Structure 1
Amino acid sequence: MNDSPGARLQRLFEGHRLTPTQRRIAHCMVRSPADAPFLSSVELAELAGVSQPSVTRFAVALGFDGYPALRRALREMAPSDGAAAGAAEEAGGNEYQQAVLAEIENLRRLAAALADPAPVAEAGRLLAASRPLPVLGLRAAAAQAYGFAYFAAKVHPDIRLLHEGGTMLQDRIDAAARAGASALLCFALPRHPREVVDALRQARAAGLTVVTVADSAFAPVAGLSDLLLPAAVGTGLAFDTACAPMLLGRVLLEAMCDVLPEAQARLEEFDARAAERGLFVE
């Protein structure tokens, strides 16, 4: 089991019904697990962009008498100073190297989560059965949605990429539902566009099962997702890095292929046509 500080925090929050504001606080703490045990309620409120009473209510929602009790529990969970210092020394390097090492840790956390393959297998079954299959990703998540849709189209008969917002987005979701879609795959990464939240509400209203790849189990789209698969993003550079969400998308593709009986035949047909057209430089 992954026992990183972020993973321990996430396990603490799992199983609790949290409001959107409380999920925002939890997400903030998971992204800064080393600092979380030492923040005052005022500091945590400022960091998460919420009010100080919201932090108190968050602690009570987790079953603590108040925020001081939660902070004591977090300090008991934190590694010793010696262990923390050793980890920092091991990381070393310049800021670019540290960003890469942090992303490797995100991949380790993803690998640990995949020790239980049942959620991904269930997601693969839902996505494979949807004809058509709309794939949603806006702004920072557009590249993840595009990459998934590009490969998925080689094995799935009807992939509909939704990577642009605007007034037509909900029309396209409704059109997919009318055409027989039963599920929608969403990639949701920070900063989370309001349009994604609205689109998922529309998808649920249209009767679609929403499968979401998000940066955290406490992302703003969590409450609108029937099945949420978290994969952390890196925050060490000016712009977030999303290696783990990308890899999780490929894992979902593999799970889809496992339940699509025609997947291998479609791939072989594509390879044959590509060879005939001289599509790729060998």
Structure 2
Amino acid sequence: MDENNQQDLMRTIQMKFPRLSKGQKLIAEYILKHYDKAAFMTAAKLGTSVGVSESTVVRFANELGFSGYPKLQKALHDLIKNKLTTVQRIELSNNLINQENALKGVLKADMENIRSTLEKINHKDFEEVVNSIFRAKNIYIIGLRSSTALSEFLGFYLNVMLDNVRVVKHGISDVFEQIINIDKDDLLIGIGFPRYSSGTIQTLDFARSRGAKVVAITDSLLSPLATKAEYTLIAQSNMASFVDSLVAPLSVINALIVAVGLREKEKISGMFKELESIWEEYHVFSHKKEE
């Protein structure tokens, strides 16, 4: 089985069930009924829970097409990550990372997220998103909860280069009030990762109902944001802990900002020269005092 297609895991188990050994069937039944619990178990613990040996659990993973039990466990993690509570995330992170290897573990996980993103992202869609930014009358950006930082970052830099960008914020006023005038000539960029914010999903729905072009920056084509978007930029955000990994999404957003900047190179160069003068005059940035 292709390990990137975890959404088919349960179906694969069901299809292979008749050919499994007696012990493997016990494992299959347990996972089908309690996959949320199985995801947190080691091979030995899963074997003990169903009354089989650890080696039987490993052979079961091989029978499904995985190179070992850790790969099957990762597929189970991916299957449930959209439903994990913070408490469950902490429990999961304790199995993956401990105090001694936190720095190395998180950095390695983030590197893997970027590597996987580079392989998965659709370059043609990326260019179409850049084109859509320049064609749009108004550009709205929304990212709620942990994605707020991403939407603010994207909005900050696009605002420097363009004059038609608005970051939709939660708490200032109702989200729908902020985009009430959105129409077919506008663009909405929605940013969201597990656990997906229902507010972001509803906003994408509303924008699409008004005929606006919708772009999603999310973790999968199966994401509820992607199903409502014309173009989707995939950025892997597999968590190494209870904290969302936003390194790869931020890297994709960086690339988007740079691509827009390169299209407007001369305009931006002149604008930044003027800004530098203003920043200098009003001491916007701190300067180290000469000794």
Q: What TM bracket, shorter-length normalisation?
A: 0.5 to 0.7
Secondary structure, aligned partner of 1:160: strand
Cα distance in 2 for partners of 1:224, 1:112 equals 23
Normalising by the residue count of structure 2, what TM-score does the alignment of the two structures yield?
Answer: 0.65
**Rg: which structure is higher?**
2
Q: List structure 1 segments (4+ residues) > 4 angstroms apart after TM superposition.
A: 22-26, 71-74
Question: Are 1:275 and 2:280 counterparts?
Answer: yes
Q: Residues 131 and 157 of structure 1 are in contact (CA less than 8 Å); yes or no, is this contact kept in structure 2? A: no
* Superimposed CA distance per residue, residues 22-69 of structure 1 (whole angstroms, 9 cap, x where no aligned partner): 69989xxxxxxxxxxxx73652564469xxxxxxxxxxxxxxxxxxxx
* Counterpart check, 1:9 vs 2:3: yes
Q: State how far apart, in whole Å, the 1-side matches of 2:63 and 2:215 are.
A: 31
Q: Which amino acid aligns with 1:221?
A: L
Tell me, yes or no, if the aligned pair for 2:117 and 2:235 is still in contact at 8 Å. yes
Q: Which runs of 5+ in 1 are unaligned?
A: 14-21, 27-38, 50-70, 85-90
106, 119, 125: which one aligns with 2:113: 106
Q: Which runs of 5+ in 2 are unaligned?
A: 12-26, 38-59, 73-96
The one-letter amino acid paired with 2:284 is L
Deviation at 1:264, TM superposition (A): 3.2
Q: Which amino acid aligns with 1:161?
A: V
Equivalent residue, structure 1, for 2:148? 142
Tell me the TM-score normalized by structure 1: 0.67
Worse-superposed segment, 203-212 or 166-175: 166-175
Q: Distance in 2 between matches of 1:142 and 1:190?
A: 13
How far apart, in 2, do the equivalents of 1:266 and 1:159 lie? Answer: 17
The corresponding residue for 2:229 is: 225
Given that 2:61 and 2:68 are in contact with CA atoms closer than 8 Å, whether structure 1 keeps it comes out as no
Query: C-alpha displacement at 1:258, in angstroms?
Result: 3.0
Specify the SS of the correspondent of 2:110: helix
Do the aligned partners of 2:139 and 2:188 also contact (CA within 8 Å) in 1?
A: yes
3-state SS of 2:249 partner: helix
Q: Percent identity?
A: 17
Q: Please give the alpha-carbon distance, in whole angstroms, between the structure 1 residues aligned to 2:217 and 2:29.
A: 30
Structure-1 separation of matches of 2:9 and 2:202: 18
Aligned residue number for residue 271 of structure 2: 266
Are 1:182 and 1:208, in contact at CA under 8 Å, matched by a contact in 2?
yes
Distance 2:172 2:9 in 1: 26
Q: CA RMSD in A?
A: 3.7
- Corresponding residue for 1:43? 31
Higher RCO structure (Cα 8 Å, ≥6 apart): 1
